[in-house]
Structure 1
C-alpha cells in the first residue's frame, strides 16, 4: 500500500499577448487534453514532466491521483472559460482527496496569461493552497520561459524549472520536483524561496543553454546547488512575447532557509547583469541567410549533413502564425534545390491538395493569410502533391520523446521543379522541433542540402547533430528574436536593452 497520496495536475500554456484571438479548449484538445487514468495511459514513460513525476512516485511508493493534463500550442490569451475549466478539474481532484492528501504536484508553464488577467499560474496555485491549507506541500514544475509572479513564489512550496533549452530535460524536471516533494512529505523539509529579477531581456537564440552566456549561467547555477542549504536554483530568461508585469529575467532560488536562498539568488542575478551585453547578438535576415546557405551547399559542406535554418520570427512554439512567408519566398526566389521547409499552416491549400490528390500538380497561393505581420501570400506557386497524411506521429527525438503530435491533415508539396523546395503544409500549428515530422510525409531530412524549421532553439536537440551548420534567421513575426521589436506597456522598466541603463542602476537591493 502506498505511503502518501499526491494529486497530479498539468495545465500548460505559453501565452503570446501580441497574438490575436483567444486560446480556447479546442486548441488544447488539438495538442493535449487527458483526464484521470488517461494520463498514465498516455504519458507514462514519456519525456514530460508528468512522465517524470510518475517515475519517482512509482519508485517511492507514492499513490498519484490524476486530474488533468492539458497543453496548447503557444498562442493568444487563454479564454476565460477554458482557464476556469482546467483549473476546476485540478481543484476537483484536490477536493476529492482532501481527507487523505499529503502533497500536490502541478506541471505548469509559468507564462500563461488568461483572458482578463495578467498571470495564470499564481492564482491557480493560490486556489489550490486555499483548499489544502498551509501544511500540505505544493511542488510546481515550470518551463524555463516562465514569467514568475510574486504570487506564484508565495503560494508554492517549491518551484522546479527546466534547466535546458532546448527543453530535453522535461522528464528530469518532473523527477526533480517529485523528489523534493517526497522530502517535504517524509523528511520535514520546509523550503524557503527568494527571487531576484535582473533587468535584462535576452534575445531568443541567446537563451540556448548549450553555448554562450546561458550555458555559463546554467553552469554557475548548478555550482550553487552544491551548497549545503541550496535545494534548487531556477533561471528564467523570460518570455518577452508577453506584455505583463511579471515579464522579467528572474532567479527564484529554493533553499532550506531564507538567507541561503537570498544569497544565491542575488549573486546569480548580479552575474547575469554583468553579462547583459552577451545576451544581444546580430543575426542574418532572410535574403542573407538563404544566400549563405547556398554558399555552404556550393562548397560541398553538406556532405556532413544539411544546413539547418531557423525561421525564428514565425515560430509557432512562441505564438507565431506558422504561415510566415518571408523565408520560403527567398528560398524559391533564390532557387534552392534539395531543400525543405516546415511548416506552413495553410488549411485552404491543404484542402486544394487533398482534392487534387497525390501525384497531381496544383497552382496555389501559399501562406501569409493569418495577419499582416508575417509576409504576404506567395502567389501562383506551382507544386506537385507528393504525399498526404493524417498528421499523426510521435516524437522520436530528445524533446518530448514519445509524445503524440496532431497536425491535422498534412501535405508534402514539392514546389517548382523536381528537385526544388519540399514544403510541409498543415492544418494545425505546431513547432517542428522533432525530425519525425519530415519522415512521416516521406522525407529523409538527413538527405536534404538545406532545411528550414519554424523554431527558435528547440530544433537544435534533434537537428543540430545531423547538420553541418545552423543559421538562426532574424525573420519578422510575433516571435521576433529581439525584444526591442515589441511595444510594451505593462512590463517593469527600465530593462536592458530596451532602455539606456547606467551600470550602477542595478543591483538596487534593500
Structure 2
C-alpha cells in the first residue's frame, strides 16, 4: 500500500430523536458496524473505485438507528466509548469522515454530535482534517462547525441524494488533503425558522428553488461546499433551527454565499406549505372513499417512525377499524402499515396462516392518545427475519389488512408489502405511518393526502409545546423582528472558539 496515500478514518452515530415521544433508544438499535465492515456501507468505497484507491480508509465505528426517542445516556456512553477506543487504536490519521445524522438527543445532554466530535478531536488531535456529512434535518451549532473543517448535508427531501452527499463529503476531504491547502473558511448563519420536513420538501416550491440556489453558490470560485439545514422540528433543544454553512478558501465568497442562502430561506418562510393536501383522518378517509383514484394513499403522519415517532400509537388504526365501510371482507381493500405488538405477533405465528385469532397490540410505548387495541382477524401471512421488524404478521380484519410487527418498521418500498403477500397497487386504500411519501410509494399512489394525526411527531408544531428552543422563532413568533443574517466566520478547530451560539 503506497505510503503517500492519506489515512482516513470513518466514524459516526446517527439518529433523529423526538423529545416529544416517550420512547427511548438503546445501543442495539444503532446496528453498529466496525472496522473493515464500515466500508461496506458505501458503494463509492468499494474495492477498485477511484475514491477507495485515493486513500487508506479505516473504519472505526458507524451506527445508524431508525428515528426514535431520546437515546439513553448508557447507550450513548457505550457506543461513543467504543468509537473513541477504536479511533485510538488506529494511530495517527490524516483525516476523519464524520458520518452522522445531526438530530440525536441524548438524556442529559444538548448537542450530542458536537460533544462526540469534541471527544474525537481530543483523540485524533487538532490538526487532523475532519469532513462531516449530515441529513438536512440535522442541527448545526457553532460548536459543531468549529470542530469540523468541511461540512455538508443532503439537498433533496425525500433524501434521494443521501449517498451522493456522503460521497461528496468523502471526496472533498480527499481533495483537501491532496491539495495541501490551508483549512477552509467556514461561514455559518443560524436562521430562526423551525419547520417540519413535510413543509419543506424539495419536490415543490419554495424549497425547490431555495435548494437549487445551493448548487449555484457552490459553483462560485473560492467555494468548496454550500449547505442549508432545515433543522429537526420534533426535538426541543437550543440548537434546533435552520442553518446555513458555506466553506471554501475565499472568505469573501463564502460570506456572500452564506448570506445569499440564508436570506433566500428566510424570505420564503411564509410560503412553505405541506407537500400534499392535508386533513383530519376522517376527512382523508372520506375523500379517499369518494375518489376513483386507486390506490389512494393516506399518510398517518403523527406517529411516523422515520421522523422519530414511537410507531405504536393505535389512534389511527382504531379510527380505520371503526369505519362501517371496512367491517365486512367485501368492503374496499385497505392496507394499514403498521403497528408493533410482540405478543400479538407471537400469537399469530403460533396459530399459523389461515387461523382466526384475537390479539392486542400497540400503545406499549406511547399510550397518550389511545389504549392498546384488541382486534380479531384471519392470519394472512407471516414473515421472519426483517432487519427492523424481526417478525411481521398480516391480519385481515374485515377488509383491512393490518401489518403487525415485533418491532417497529417503516414501510417505504413496494417489496415491503409484496414480501407479505400484499398487493398495494391493487388495493383501494393504503395507509402508512409516514410523512411525505418516499419515492416508490409516491410513484405508486394514484392520489395522496396527509392525515394530521396525533403522536410524537405531530405536524402541528405549535401545539407540541417547545420550551427550550431559542426564541423568537418562526412560526412560533410570526411577528418577530428581522433576524441578523450576517455570516459568522467560525474559527478552525485548532484555534479558540469565540462568540455565543446565538
- TM-score normalized with structure 1 length: 0.88
Q: Which residue of structure 2 lines up, in the alignment, with residue 485 of structure 1?
A: 463
Cα gap change, 1:374 to 1:37, in 2 (>3 Å) = farther
Deviation at 1:137, TM superposition (A): 0.6
Question: Following superposition of structure 1 onto structure 2, how do residues 380-399 of structure 1 map, counting pairs within 5 Å?
Answer: 381-392=375-386
Deviations 1:7-51 (A, max 9, x none): 1113111111222253221322xxx2222233335x353xxxxx6
Question: Following superposition of structure 1 onto structure 2, how do residues 287-366 of structure 1 map, counting pairs within 5 Å?
Answer: 287-296=282-291, 299=292, 301-302=293-294, 306-334=295-323, 335-336=325-326, 337-366=332-361
Question: Following superposition of structure 1 onto structure 2, how do residues 108-123 of structure 1 map, counting pairs within 5 Å?
Answer: 108-123=100-115
Deviation at 1:366, TM superposition (A): 4.1
Cα gap change, 1:91 to 1:371, in 2 (>3 Å) = closer
Deviation at 1:57, TM superposition (A): 6.2
Q: Which residue of structure 1 lines up, in the alignment, with residue 483 of structure 2?
A: 506
Question: Following superposition of structure 1 onto structure 2, how do residues 149-188 of structure 1 map, counting pairs within 5 Å?
Answer: 149-188=141-180
Cα gap change, 1:366 to 1:132, in 2 (>3 Å) = closer
Say whether the 8 Å CA contact 2:80–2:116 is kept in structure 1.
yes
1:247 aligns with 2:229: no
Cα gap change, 1:60 to 1:155, in 2 (>3 Å) = same
| 2:187 corresponds to which of 187, 194, 207 | 194
Question: Following superposition of structure 1 onto structure 2, how do residues 222-241 of structure 1 map, counting pairs within 5 Å?
Answer: 222-241=215-234
Matched residue of 2:71: which SS?
A: coil
Residue ranges of structure 2 left out of the alignment (5+ in a row)? 327-331, 488-502
Question: Following superposition of structure 1 onto structure 2, how do residues 465-480 of structure 1 map, counting pairs within 5 Å?
Answer: 465-480=443-458
Deviation at 1:196, TM superposition (A): 1.3
Q: Which residue of structure 1 lines up, in the alignment, with residue 492 of structure 2?
A: none
1:451 aligns with 2:413: no
- TM-score normalized with structure 2 length: 0.89
| 1:377 corresponds to which of 355, 366, 372 | 372
Matched residue of 1:355: which SS?
A: helix
1:127 aligns with 2:119: yes
Q: Which moved more, 1:252-261 or 1:425-434?
A: 252-261
Q: Which residue of structure 1 lines up, in the alignment, with residue 37 of structure 2?
A: 38
Say whether the 8 Å CA contact 2:197–2:230 is kept in structure 1.
no
Deviations 1:275-310 (A, max 9, x none): 1112245720100011111112xx3x22xxx11111
Deviations 1:464-494 (A, max 9, x none): 1111112111111101112212211211101
| 1:210 corresponds to which of 203, 225, 229 | 203
| RMSD across aligned positions (CA) | 2.1
Residue ranges of structure 1 left out of the alignment (5+ in a row)? 46-50, 393-404
Say whether the 8 Å CA contact 1:111–1:148 is kept in structure 2.
no
Q: Which residue of structure 2 lines up, in the alignment, with residue 395 of structure 1?
A: none
Distance 1:55 1:207 in 2: 38
| 1:13 corresponds to which of 12, 15, 18 | 15
Matched positions, count: 476
Distance 1:263 1:484 in 2: 33
Cα gap change, 1:52 to 1:59, in 2 (>3 Å) = closer
Deviation at 1:267, TM superposition (A): 1.7
Distance 1:22 1:367 in 2: 16
Say whether the 8 Å CA contact 2:263–2:485 is kept in structure 1.
no
Matched residue of 1:239: which SS?
A: coil
Matched residue of 1:359: which SS?
A: coil
Q: Which residue of structure 2 lines up, in the alignment, with residue 143 of structure 1?
A: 135
Cα gap change, 1:218 to 1:227, in 2 (>3 Å) = same
Cα gap change, 1:53 to 1:131, in 2 (>3 Å) = farther
Distance 1:58 1:506 in 2: 41
1:258 aligns with 2:257: no
